[in-house]
Amino acid sequence: MHKRLGLVAASFAVALGLLGLAGQPASAAVKTAFSNIQASSDFMYNSYTKVVAYHAKSTTKSAYIWNDTHTKKLYNLKSYPTYSWYQLATATKGQSKWVQVTNFPGTKRGWVWRGYLTKGYNTKGYQVTSKRYAQPTYAGGQYHVTSTTKNVYMWDWSHTKVRANLKNYANQSFGRRHSIRLRHNGTESWYYYVDIKTNKGYVYGYVAASNLAEGQTTYHKLTDTVLPYQFVSSADYMNYIKTNNYQKLTRAMVALFPNTPVDLDLTKITAYSSLLAERNFHEDDDDDVDDTNYTKLVSFPTVTKYLYDHRTASNATKIAAVKKLLAEQGYTQAKRNQLSDYKLGIYNINNIMVNQLNPNTKTAWYGLAIAKE
């Protein structure tokens, strides 16, 4: 614990530009033109109840932020009229008081004469007044958009640049990394920092908490594949089977068991068991399926092996073979019609490109089982 705190303190000192090398001559220490430096860790530790915020006294007159040695102008305050600046340290230079400040993401930092600043958050734009990481209140969990048709924008930290419209990613669930509280026109609202996956990679940004609901999405349109753990219920999974363009084979196989309801928990067991999931990659797997919470579990290894070995065949060819193999195992259509007291576990990725698994090659994954709960 002490080591961890020491590392954090050292990181903070580096951020301020104050950390010298112990045991080294004075000439080896970080050079600065400022004296009587008093560092403040409140901003770095997200202690926003103690953070000292400033904004430019004038948005029309030039007022510069300088580097540590006061030899280079870094930024002009009038170029950032909507910014709030957060105090990192105070110091003196001659008889003048100076403040080391940073913007919210820490991308702009330097020293500014105290006379150019007014204490308090900027009344213009959007201002971050709190940042929280504590789980589960402010971080963690899965979220989805509350509406699949309404525009829901992901913003940068300053709320001036749209990074994405989540309406176009309603089929994704978003992980919450932290939360911030934004003040705008006297009103404060919580925003969540989340990420989405786009064709160009992951995009990160802030979304109003009011536009997100906790839990995984049940909107699966325009999705190539949804993995078993990403469904929230059997009804959610069945809706996916009925509507997804890549689930035609699964729909045809479900129809072979007309009175046997699809069960999500059994599907997960079926999909992730060594026989029905990993058999695609290993030929010497155990043929047992984990039957926790189920009785009279029956797997169909000849069916799943055939489907994988003939993954490039047409769906019509596959279904004809599945019917034959089921009958050979004793499950004729007449018998399958009587399985109303059983549950059906089924999961297929039918030899397609799946970005979230392997974007460079097709994936084939087949699972089928029945059981009593």
pLDDT digits (tens, 9 = 90+) for 112-140: 999 999 999 999 999 999 999 999 999 99
Amino acid at 271: A
Query: What pLDDT score does 224 carry?
Result: 87
Q: Spell out the alpha helix ranges (H) of the chain.
A: 2-16, 234-243, 248-254, 264-272, 301-309, 315-328, 333-336
Binned at pLDDT 50, 70 and 90, residue 3 comes out as very low
Which DSSP helix (H) or strand (E) runs through 111? strand 109-113
| Residue keyed to tokens 């070995």 | 309
Distance in angstroms (rounded) separating the CA atoms of residues 226 and 301: 23
Q: What is the pLDDT of residues 138-196, one digit of tens each?
A: 999 999 999 999 999 999 999 999 999 999 999 999 999 999 999 999 999 999 999 99
Span 4-20, pLDDT tens digits: 334 333 444 444 454 43
Q: What is the C-alpha separation between 205 and 199, in angstroms, rounded?
A: 16
**Residue 361 CB: number of other CB atoms within 10 A?**
9
Task: Return the ∠ at Cα 320 (arms to 319 and 321), rounded to 5°.
Answer: 90
- Residue 280: pLDDT band with limits 50, 70, 90: very low
- The pLDDT of residue 273: 78
Each residue of 214-225: pLDDT tens digit?
999 999 988 888
Return the closest-CA partner of residue 199 out of 355, 67, 21.
Answer: 355
**CA-to-CA separations, 324 to 306, 320, 330, 349, in angstroms, rounded:** 11, 6, 10, 21
Q: pLDDT tens digits, residue range 320-353? A: 999 999 999 999 999 999 999 999 999 999 999 8
Residue-wise pLDDT for 31-84, tens only, equals 899 999 999 999 999 999 999 999 999 999 999 999 999 999 999 999 999 999
Q: Is the pTM of this model over 0.85?
A: no
pLDDT at residue 274, rounded to an integer: 43
When comparing pLDDT for 275 and 122, which is higher?
Answer: 122
Q: Evaluate if residue 281 carries a pLDDT over 60.
A: no
The structure tokens 């709030």 sit at 84
Q: Dig out the tokens for 94 from the structure.
A: 């001659």
d(CA 100, CA 40): 10
277: pLDDT strictly greater than 90: no
pLDDT over threshold 90, residue 282 = no
